[in-house]
């Protein structure tokens, strides 16, 4: 039976001692190498700092440019596809901007003609103050009628182009018609009164309101006292998407709004402006037909 506690022989002790000496020697070498590496790194860092201090304007390479020229995604990968899509959008935006700039010049020419024409017309009408033979249906077969021109004005809005040019962008015509006839009286129950109140307000009518209340202070009736007077507004403005001039009118031929469309060059046709003037004066006219005519 072998001895569980073998005795250490002198030869075994000598071998263990040599092994420990070898391990200690290796540890010293590793420690020396580590110290040398730290000293080298610190020395290199000092050199870099001194160099940058001596050269404050040192230019570093453009990493983005270097990446673009070396990246495998640059020409045909995902980034390449995204770049192509982005460039297509930029090209479309640039082409549209050039087209809008050309349209803006054409619009300016048309708007200048419209403004000059309307300004001249309003100056004459402000002196003549003619009657306007047109009745405006209000409600309950009651009309605003026997109206005459009181005062009008033409105005314009300017926009600056990319070349810092002031281009006329839109023109507006505002005028007031008034009658010497007595005010119109309308009575409405509370159930529909608010609807009428909002409608008359949207039409920009000059009115007085008297409210009648019943038991428990509940609204029963609203009495509208409407002055026989009309505010007319007409605005000429461009629609770049459709490449058209849009005329938005309020209370022109009737109470409410109307829209007319025409080619951009149409307002420069004297015949069209003549027909518009006839429409303003309540005379027979063909303005909508001429506005849509391709020859206008």
Task: Return per-residue pLDDT of the chain as tens, 296 residues.
Answer: 455 545 555 555 666 566 666 666 666 665 665 665 566 656 665 655 555 555 555 454 555 555 555 555 556 678 888 888 898 899 888 888 787 788 889 999 999 999 999 999 999 999 999 999 999 999 888 999 999 999 999 999 998 766 667 899 999 999 999 999 999 999 988 888 888 889 999 999 999 988 888 777 888 888 999 999 999 999 999 998 899 999 999 999 999 999 999 999 999 999 999 999 999 999 999 999 888 765 54
Handedness of CA 95, 101, 106, 111 (dihedral sign): positive
φ, ψ of residue 185 in degrees (nearest 5): -105, 130
pLDDT at 296: 46
For residue 24, give the H/E element and its range: helix 10-54
User: For the CA atoms of the chain, what is the radius of gyration?
Assistant: 44
Which residues have CB under 8 Å from 288's CB, separation 6+? 260
Bridge partners (DSSP) of residue 167 are: 159
226/145 Cα distance (integer angstroms) = 12
Nearest-CA neighbor of 230 among 210, 246, 254, 248? 254
pLDDT at 71: 54
Nearest-CA neighbor of 246 among 62, 111, 122, 95? 111
Q: Where are the beta strands (DSSP E) in the chain?
A: 131-132, 136-139, 142-144, 147-160, 166-178, 184-189, 207-213, 219-226, 229-239, 244-250, 257-263
Tokens 């009408």 locate to: 125
φ, ψ of residue 218 in degrees (nearest 5): -95, 140
Q: Are 283 and 271 in contact (CB under 8 A)?
A: no
83 CB-contact burial (10 Å; exposed 0-12 / middle 13-18 / buried 19+): middle
Other Cβ atoms closer than 10 A to 15: 10
pLDDT at 155: 97
Residue 225, CB half-sphere, CA atoms under 13 Å: how many?
6
Q: Are 238 and 102 in contact (CB under 8 A)?
A: no
pLDDT at 16: 59
85/93 Cα distance (integer angstroms) = 12
Edge-to-edge strands, sheet with 184-189: 184-189, 219-226, 207-213
Q: Are 126 and 280 in contact (CB under 8 A)?
A: no
Bridge partners (DSSP) of residue 75 are: none
């Amino acid at each position: 039976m072998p001895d569980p506690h073998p005795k250490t022989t002198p030869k075994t002790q000598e071998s263990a001692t040599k092994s420990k000496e070898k391990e200690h020697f290796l540890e010293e070498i590793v420690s020396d190498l580590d110290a040398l590496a730290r000293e080298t790194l610190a020395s290199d860092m000092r050199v870099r700092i001194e160099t940058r201090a001596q050269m404050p304007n040192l230019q570093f390479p453009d990493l983005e440019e270097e990446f673009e020229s070396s990246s495998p995604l640059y020409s045909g990968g995902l980034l390449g596809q995204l770049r192509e899509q982005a460039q297509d959008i930029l090209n479309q935006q640039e082409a549209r901007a050039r087209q809008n700039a050309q349209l803006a010049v054409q619009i300016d020419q048309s708007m200048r003609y419209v403004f000059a024409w309307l300004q001249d017309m309003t100056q004459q009408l402000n002196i003549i103050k003619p009657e306007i033979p047109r009745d405006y249906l209000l409600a309950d077969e009651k009309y605003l009628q026997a109206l005459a021109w009181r005062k009008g004005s033409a105005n314009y809005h300017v926009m600056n182009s990319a070349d810092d040019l002031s281009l006329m962008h839109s023109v507006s015509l505002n005028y007031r018609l008034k009658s010497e006839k007595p005010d119109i009286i309308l009575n409405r129950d509370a159930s529909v009164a608010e609807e009428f109140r909002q409608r008359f307000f949207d039409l920009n009518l000059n009115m007085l309101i008297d409210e009648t209340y019943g038991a428990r202070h509940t609204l029963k009736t609203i009495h509208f006292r409407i002055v026989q007077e009309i505010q007319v507004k007409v605005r000429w403005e461009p629609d770049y998407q459709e490449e058209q001039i849009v005329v938005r009118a309020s209370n022109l031929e009737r109470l409410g709004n109307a829209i007319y469309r025409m080619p951009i060059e149409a307002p420069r046709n004297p015949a069209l402006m003549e027909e518009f003037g006839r429409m303003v004066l309540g005379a027979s006219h063909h303005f909508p037909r001429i506005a849509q005519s391709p020859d206008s």
